[in-house]
């Protein structure tokens, strides 16, 4: 019933920045917990960052200090600001969302991030 859509991916140089956005339509956006995952070919999908309905954030150690997750409930968006990008950040990035009172996680289709010199 909820379909997250990611945008903002692309090709960047090492040390560069990108800002990803996750958007989905609902009248109760502020009740949703939202995660960003990423997956490189041949590797497990890993949780990169999360934000709760209350605004609490968490990050995988490899991106701490470089990535920031935030939400704008008025715009129904959750963003992932990625700075100081490294080659190993190359992956498809996915958004996942769940109503904190529900039990179903909804996945987006993903957006490609490529870090290359």
* pLDDT at 18 (0 to 100): 98
Q: Which residues contact 32 (CB under 8 A, 6 or more apart)?
A: 2, 26, 53, 97, 98, 99, 100
* pLDDT at 1 (0 to 100): 82
Per-residue pLDDT of the chain (117 residues; tens, 9 = 90+): 899 999 999 999 999 999 999 999 999 999 999 999 999 999 999 999 999 999 999 999 999 999 999 999 999 999 999 999 999 999 999 999 999 999 999 999 999 999 999
CA 17 to chain centre: 14
CA 20 to chain centre: 7
* pLDDT at 14 (0 to 100): 98
Torsion of CA 101, 26, 106, 85, to 10 degrees: -110
């Amino acid at each position: 019933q909820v379909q997250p859509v990611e945008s903002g991916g692309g090709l960047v140089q090492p040390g560069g920045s990108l800002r990803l956005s996750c958007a989905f339509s609902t009248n109760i956006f502020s009740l949703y917990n939202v995660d960003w995952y990423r997956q490189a070919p041949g590797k497990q999908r890993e949780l990169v960052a999360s934000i709760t309905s209350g605004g609490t954030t968490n990050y995988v150690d490899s991106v701490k200090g470089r990535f920031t997750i935030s939400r704008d409930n008025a715009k129904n968006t959750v963003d992932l600001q990625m700075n100081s990008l490294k080659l190993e950040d190359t992956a498809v990035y996915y958004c996942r969302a769940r109503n904190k009172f529900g039990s179903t996680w909804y996945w987006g289709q993903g957006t490609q991030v490529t870090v290359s010199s």
